[in-house]
Amino acid sequence: MSDADENDILVVGAGPAGLATSACLGKLGLAHVVVERAADVGSAWRRHYDRLHLHTTKKYSALPMSPWPRDAPRYPSREQMVDYLERYAAEHGVRPRMGIEVRRIEHGAGERFSVRTSAGLLSPRCVVIATGDNAVPNWPSLRGIDAFAGSVVHASGYRNAAPYLGKRTLVVGSGNSGAEIALDLAEHGVDVSMVVRGPVHVVPRDLLGRPTQHTAVLLARLPARWRDAIVKPMLRAAVGDLARFGIVRPTLGPNQMIETLGRIPMLDIGTVARIKDGSIRVLPGVEEVFSNSVGFADGRVHAFDTIVLATGYTTGLAQLIEGFEGVASARGRADRFGAKRMPDGLYFVGFRHAATGALREIALEAPRVAAAIARNLNGLGKDGAGR
């Protein structure tokens, strides 16, 4: 379809977004190079905590051209996801160059980029960033944290409850990772507390036997405020008022919070029941950390032996890409195929926050980006369209 050689197209990352993009480029006959800093495809999935299952259903978690097997469970496990990614790469002939770290992407000569890597300089015409939202763990600045005598670990380093048995553990953060890690600890009898710093929506993974993701997909074409008008009464009925347990519902609806603030609701797979029965204590924001205790926004101080920081990640793109501010949203996230202040040819796959699920969005984005690259290389017009 194009007379370009493989050095004209660079895909950065061999997780779901990078593999999907590579498969779609291959389907169009576009030679390209995939680089990955780790030693295996799907490296982030290999590092996740043991109990993790997909929070989205297999129906909407398949990458382009490769549905999940019929015998896979509705919510596949972490191990099954890793196996799926390995099979996907083999099935579609995706052969990443492993152990190559991209260190800087800059404007190059003419229509090309200058990409500095651990293996040398590359000069592609098109670059697809598929490194994911969870590239760099976010370590918050908590007053006094350096004086804490116990262990402090980011959620990226959490595997299972075994090291925390018999220890008073504080999980800082109430996103999906924080809520599930707190649940895992509670299920294993660990004395666990979870910090919920501000208002947060709680959404059951399944509602009346139906995955809430499927409802989100059904409503996806409606404006966010209309979707919220439909789902908020359902959530009030399903979840109830959790204020007395320390969880306050925001006034802004869950879909509007995702689109305007990038804040994903807490997806409940059992955490709320553990909060209600007292197995997980909810605490407000951290004010100060002491040698063997933590002070909170309500004035209380509680003793802890270990702290798990479920405080999210950053993309690291501002440091990676020259002029990233020209292609970033107001929240500092990639939100375009092309660029305003860079040459045509810079693309992003796998960075969209949506109630419909990240893997589903990747499956939609990857073929669009592959087609846009084909148009770009064949001179059929500019391709700066957003998602």
pLDDT tens column, 149-193: 999 999 999 999 999 999 999 999 999 999 999 999 999 999 999
Contact 259, 222 (CB under 8 A): no
- Give me the pLDDT at residue 383, please: 45
Does pLDDT of 27 surpass 70?
yes
Of how many residues is the chain composed?
Answer: 387
Q: Where are the alpha helices (DSSP H) in 56-161?
A: 78-91
Which of the four pLDDT bands, split at 50, 70 and 90, describes residue 18? very high
User: What pairs with residue 106 in β-bridges?
Assistant: 114
**Pairing of the two strands 169-172 and 192-195:** parallel
Does pLDDT of 2 surpass 60?
no
| Amino acid symbol at 292 | N
Three-state SS at 220: coil
- Dist. CA 324–CA 31, nearest whole Å: 26
Does pLDDT of 71 surpass 50?
yes
Which residue's structure tokens are 């600045």?
141
Rounding to the nearest 10 degrees, give the CA dihedral for residues 231, 237, 239, 241.
110
Contact 44, 132 (CB under 8 A): yes
Does pLDDT of 277 surpass 90?
yes
- Dist. CA 302–CA 325, nearest whole Å: 41
What is the tens place of the pLDDT at every residue in 328-364?
776 667 766 555 555 678 999 999 888 899 999 999 9
Residues near 327 by beta carbon (within 8 Å), at least 6 away in sequence: 321, 334, 335, 336, 338, 339, 340, 341, 342, 346, 348
Does pLDDT of 259 surpass 90?
no
Contact 290, 147 (CB under 8 A): yes
